């Protein structure tokens, strides 16, 4: 009859434990490799998104610059039109009716 204290050390149990641990090690290695691949894929995606963001920022800066230039031109045009109208009003004969 087997001694109950030695049951855990039976060669069949030790071999089963060794196989289970070896399989767990292989599974963990596979999982680690899959995670590294996923991280690499995500890093590629992040890099692409950063490039796209940089391009979008450049476009926004260009558009802002163009719009600012257009606004400055519009202000200058309006100022010139205002000065023209004011000059005409100043030259008007006050005795002549507006209508």
Q: Rounded distance, CA 58 to CA 71, Å?
A: 20
Give the pLDDT of residue 7: 61
Q: How far apart are CA 42 and CA 28, in angstroms?
A: 21
pLDDT tens-digit series, residues 88-97: 877 767 787 7
Mean pLDDT of 35-63: 98
Who contacts 7 (Cβ-Cβ below 8 Å, separation ≥6)? 13
Taken in order 16, 18, 19, 23, the sign of the CA dihedral is positive
Structure tokens at 87: 């000059």
Give tens-digit pLDDT for 51-79.
Answer: 999 999 999 999 999 999 999 999 999 99
Whether the pLDDT of residue 8 is over 80: the answer is no
């Amino acid at each position: 009859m087997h001694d109950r204290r030695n049951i855990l050390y039976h060669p069949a149990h030790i071999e089963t434990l060794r196989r289970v641990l070896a399989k767990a090690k292989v599974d963990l290695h596979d999982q680690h490799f899959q995670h590294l691949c996923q991280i690499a894929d995500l890093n590629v995606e992040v890099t692409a998104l950063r490039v796209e963001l940089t391009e979008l920022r450049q476009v926004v800066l260009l558009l802002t610059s163009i719009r600012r230039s257009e606004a400055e031109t519009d202000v200058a045009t309006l100022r010139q039109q205002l000065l023209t109208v004011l000059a005409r009003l100043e030259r008007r004969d006050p005795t002549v009716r507006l209508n």
